[in-house]
Structure 1
Amino acid sequence: MWEDRLTIFCGIDWAERHHDVALVDETGTLLGKARITDDAAGYNKLLELLAEHGDGPDTPIPVAIETSHGLLVATLRAGNRKVFAINPLAASRYRDRHGVSRKKSDPGDALVLANILRTDMVMHRPLSADSELARAITVLARAQQDAVWSRQQIANQVRSLLREYYPAALLAFQGKKGGLTRPDARVVLALAPTPAKAARLTLAQLRAALKRSGRTRSFDTEAERLQAVFRAEYARQIPAVENAFGQQLQALLLQLAAACQAADDLAAAAEACFHQHADSEILLSFPGLGPLLGARVLAEIGDDRTRFADARALKSYAGSAPITRASGKKRFVGRRFVKNNRLMNAGFLWAFAALQASPGADAHYRRRREHGDWHNAAQRNLLNRFLGQLHHCLQTRQHYDEQHAFAPVLAVSVGQAA
């Protein structure tokens, strides 16, 4: 009986405790609606409602929803159903097409989402059909990136606190790689959270603290340097205030230690999953991409080869491809502001690291700078080129080849050197 029915579209207005569902056909007729709870019973009720209107393994009903994660989305993505994550801002613009009063309701929003698919489904991209391993990498890589950002945020809080009462600690560790997130910095500050305690540290105590932090060499030299820094003359807070600041520092150090441990554990887990993926060898063949950065890139682009129609689609998604705005005689070419920020963040790290590992990338960057690009623009242009090469390599299952990737640039560099 369903062979004669029109195509059905489903819209779901997502909320924390319940969800409103609307089903429409090609003519816009409302076929059914319901409110389901955010639990297994509610999900089963939704699947039953979809099945009543012809949903099946061969004829899955497409669904529009304003989120791309959660258990409800995971339930809907089981099988070959197309799930469209509609940006809430875009959905609000569609709402104005159905009324000028700007009224808003949950059932009405579900109907708007269903009609978005009915009228403009080709204008929206469904969630990618990534493999189970790729989705796991996405979870771990994003969690690790969040842990790194959290670690840096807490480190900035520690730095601001030390400026209030403990300038010696800043002089002792800020100039070193890793700064206040270094294990030796955290161990020494935990041992001496105030300038008074730091000034009383002996060389033996400092050497023992450095060993506990995992340092493997130059104990005596580093202990002597730290003792000299801590015993120099600085402005001081009164003792009671200094001790209060010391207690605040100890609390922040506990948070910083937990953030550092979380970042390290998640990095190890993300790298382990990344090495199991079939695309890992191709990604690691690119200069500047290590296991962790490669995991971040794979997490954002996925392994669904049909997700991006061409290389330009991937570049636009990352935000590396420029965008053109033209109106009348005015024409402006600039960078994209709507993009995948996580992929762009990983891309800048990738492009920067590639300058040391790839002569072609370095020559390309320098040529862009010579033509007037600022550093960020040159980096973005280099990333744009790398993403095009990555798309080609993943589609054709080839490894990166420096000579093919930057042949014209390398030829010009060799000619200039001669």
Structure 2
Amino acid sequence: MTSVNTYTKGRNTLIYCGIDWAECTHDVALVDDSGQLLAKRHITDDAVGYKILLDLLAEYGDTEENPIPVAIETSRGLLVAVLRTGKRQVFAINPMAAARYRDRHSVSRKKSDPGDALVLANILRTDMHAHRPLPSDSDLGRAIAVLARAQQDATWNRQHISNQLRSLLREYYPAALNAAATWTNGLCRPEARELLKTAPTPTRAARLTRTQIQAALKRAGRKRGIDAEADRIREVLRTDYAHQPLLVEEALGKQMPALLVQLEAACTAADDLAKAVEESFPQHPDADVILSFPGLGVQLGARVLAEIGDDHNRFADARGLKAYAGSSPITRASGKKSSITRRWVKNDRLNHVGYLWAFSALTASPGAKAHYHSRRQAGDWHASAQRNLFNRMIGQLYHCLQTGELFDEQTAYPALIAAAA
């Protein structure tokens, strides 16, 4: 961790800034290395407020070459973007950690926004070495992070709405679920959505003609196998099922299109964001290294880059990255008792990608498959073996990103490949 530079305000001293962030206004506090409060301001969340903040920092010795470090409880927003210009170190302090520091100075649990700003400034004054500044990622890397996280959120949202729709159809329309059961992605398929729009109730679905079903498939964009698929769907829809009372069925048939509209919007958003990721991610200098790993395609690779960033000095070693991803175990020891468990505090997005990556690598890499089976034979459960495999692969990724080397199967798993052969 780099040390804070010396700033001059009448005498040589170290200056630290804390900002209590809010939606409309912010409280700012400046302290010196002795803990004395030098200045405090209440600024608005607009260009005028940002200028007041920068002028205040400049008044106390902030320069482009020697900026004053800032502690704030968020890593996003325009205020953070303004502060991150140049060489300034911005520390995003976890609100829970800030609350613990607050208790060090007051047992009455009193709280105020100016007081929180002072607490944040004192965190840097006393324990800056224990906190990590925001990484110096490139603009392209940060743009890819925005798109990859948005696409991941859209995918989760699509699945959530799809589950809601499935639950509703189980109540009154099982024929629709059976018709979509053979399709990949099920209800998220355009054919399924078009069929539900054409016949929102099972009574109407049973009256659909072969021509109407063919027309629905064509509107959904299907090009081949239309006749055979129309015959299959017609047979499924005309199978004998239990029915809700007619009035209840019609009411459910009016509720279902509302969910269908949300599902179509979620599917469109996920597809559009996936295309945006496919356009931007290959332009990144680290893309070739990431895509050389088995199990990582454009979407998963972009999510990995989004979470680890492209600042190669962010993690001191591979162990730091493994802990950040939640793949390495953690040891808890007290007296004669000790336990080794998985990590609960981690980057949840990167950890989620890790399981998908490890699962995909089982079919794409003989070495990864052999490593997984060796862990299962050693007594690991499926999830534990996958996490162990992810832990090994992310360590390999760290090495390749540091050296610029592409993944090599023989180098990554020499002993396992020889044993399998």
Q: Hey, what's the Cα distance between the residues in 2 that align with 1:99 and 1:245?
A: 57
**Could you tell me how far apart the structure 1 residues matched to 2:184 and 2:129 are?**
49
What is the CA deviation profile of residues 342-391 of structure 1, one whole-angstrom value per residue up to 9, with x for unaligned ones? 11111111111111100000000011111111111111100001110000
The answer to whether the aligner puts 1:187 opposite 2:180 as a matched pair is no
User: What do residues 31-62 of structure 1 show as CA deviations (whole Å, max 9, x unaligned)?
Assistant: 10000001111111111111111011111110
Query: Which residue matches 1:85?
Result: 92
Q: Which residue of 1 aligns with 2:391?
A: 384
Alignment of 1:388-407 (within 5 A): 388-407=395-414
Match of residue 10, structure 1, among 17, 21, 25: 17
Match of 1:223 among 216, 223, 230: 230
Residues 343 and 3 (structure 1), Cα distance of their counterparts in 2 relative to 1, 3 Å cut? farther
| Residue in 1 that maps onto 2:114 | 107
Whole-angstrom distance in 2 between the partners of 1:341 and 1:146: 13
Query: What is the letter of the counterpart of residue 345 of structure 2?
Result: V
d(CA) in 1 for partners of 2:401, 2:367: 20
Partner amino acid for 2:143?
A
Partner of 1:252: 259
> C-alpha distance in 1, partners of 2:344/2:135?
22
Q: Describe the superposition over 1:109-168 as per-residue Cα deviations: whole angstroms up to 9, x where unpaired.
A: 000000000000010011010000000001000000110111011101101110111111
Match of 1:116 among 110, 119, 123: 123
Among 283, 289, 293, which residue is 2:296 paired with?
289
Q: Which residue, 164, 170, 174 being the options, matches 1:157?
A: 164
**Amino acid aligned to 2:264:** A
SS in structure 2 at match of 1:388: helix
SS across alignment from 1:400:
coil
> Aligned letter for 1:338?
V
Instruction: Report 1:190-209 matches (<5 A).
Output: 190-209=197-216
Tell me the equivalent position of 2:278: 271
CA distance in 1, matches of 2:299, 2:181: 25
> How far apart are residue 200 of structure 1 and its match?
0.8
Q: SS of the counterpart of 2:407? A: coil
Aligned to 2:135: 128
Partner of 1:349: 356
Structure 1 residue runs of 5 or longer lacking an equivalent are: none
Name the counterpart of 2:220.
213
Paired position in structure 1 for 2:41? 34
In structure 2, runs of 5+ residues without a counterpart are: 1-7
Distance 2:215 2:373 in 1: 47
What is the Cα deviation at residue 207 of structure 1? 1.4
Q: Which of residues 39, 50, 61 in structure 1 aligns to 2:68?
A: 61
**1:371 aligns with one of 351, 367, 378:** 378
Runs of 4+ in 1 over 6 A off after TM superposition: none
1:324 aligns to 2:331 (yes or no):
yes
Partner of 2:3 in structure 1? Answer: none
CA distance in 2 between partners of 1:202 and 1:3 (Å): 88
Q: How far apart in 1 are the matches of 2:172 and 2:396?
A: 51
Secondary structure of residue in 2 paired with 1:24? strand
Q: How many residues align?
A: 414
Query: How many Å apart are 1:2 and its aligned residue?
Result: 4.3
- Provide the residue aligned with 1:237 in structure 2: 244
- Offset at residue 175 of structure 1 (A): 4.7
Mapped partners of 1:28, 1:122: distance in 2: 17
What is the aligned-residue RMSD (CA, Å)?
A: 1.0
- Partners of 2:215 and 2:17 in 1: CA distance: 65
Pick aligned residue for 1:46 from 50, 53, 59? 53
- Determine the structure 2 residue equivalent to 1:98: 105
Secondary structure of residue in 2 paired with 1:79? coil
Name the SS of the counterpart of 2:251 in structure 1: helix
Task: For residue 316 of structure 1, report the CA deviation from its aligned partner.
Answer: 0.4
Secondary structure of the 2:13 match is coil
2-side partners of 1:216 and 1:85: how far apart? Answer: 52
Q: How far did residue 326 of structure 1 move?
A: 0.8
Amino acid at match of 1:259: A
Give the letter aligned to residue 359 of structure 2: F
Q: Distance in 2 between matches of 1:2 and 1:405?
A: 55
